[in-house]
Amino acid sequence: MKKRGGFTLIELLIVIGLIAILAGVVFVALDPFTRFRDARNARRNADVASIASAIRVNQVDLGGLYTPTVEDLTANDTNAYLIGTEVGSGCAASAPLCVPGGVLVLQVTCLDLSALATSGYLGTVPKSPPSSITLTWADTRTGYYLVRKLNGAITVGACDAEGAAAIQVTR
């Protein structure tokens, strides 16, 4: 009699079960959802810093004045303006709404920073990556906001930071 080589059904089921358990452990250990969230927040951090730096470098080049779109803003600690790429109304008039630090942005006019991109201070006006909290920004809105403080500083932040920490830079 010839003996057949191969695996029995029980052996195959055990191996498949072990592979499934190992795959589940690896998936949980790597936690891809957290990694993707952290990657989107890292991009938002970089975008916020680059916008704030571009505004400050432009301010130095203009002899202490902000670019006209920022200079014309009311300086107080509560008026937050959505950053966009077009001047006009309707910037904050429709969803999604930006709630930086719990303060709803209701300024109707978008803050157009496209002049910083055309003059070389920014490569392009950055747009916030799509988030897991279902905010999707229109073409003219970026998902970032700016507040011109009473002391002359500016705060740039992300509307849809994921996780517990707010993403903002004050310069």
Burial 72-106 (b: 16+ CB within 10 A, else e): ebebeeebbbbbbbeeeeebbeeebebebeeeebe
Residue 23 has pLDDT above 70, yes or no: yes
Residue 46 — very low, low, confident or very high, per pLDDT cuts 50/70/90? very high
The yes-or-no verdict on residue 54 having pLDDT over 80 is yes
Q: In this model, does residue 141 exceed pLDDT 80? A: no
> How far apart are the C-alpha atoms of 72 and 87, rounded to whole Å?
13
Which is more confident, 32 or 136? Answer: 32
Mean pLDDT of 38-59: 93
- Per-residue pLDDT at 107: 64
Range among 9-13, 63-67, 136-140 with highest mean pLDDT value: 9-13
pLDDT bin (cut points 50, 70, 90) of residue 160 is confident
pLDDT for position 42: 93
pLDDT, position 79: 77
Give per-residue pLDDT as tens, 62-120. Answer: 998 888 888 888 787 777 888 887 765 556 555 456 665 555 565 666 788 888 989 99
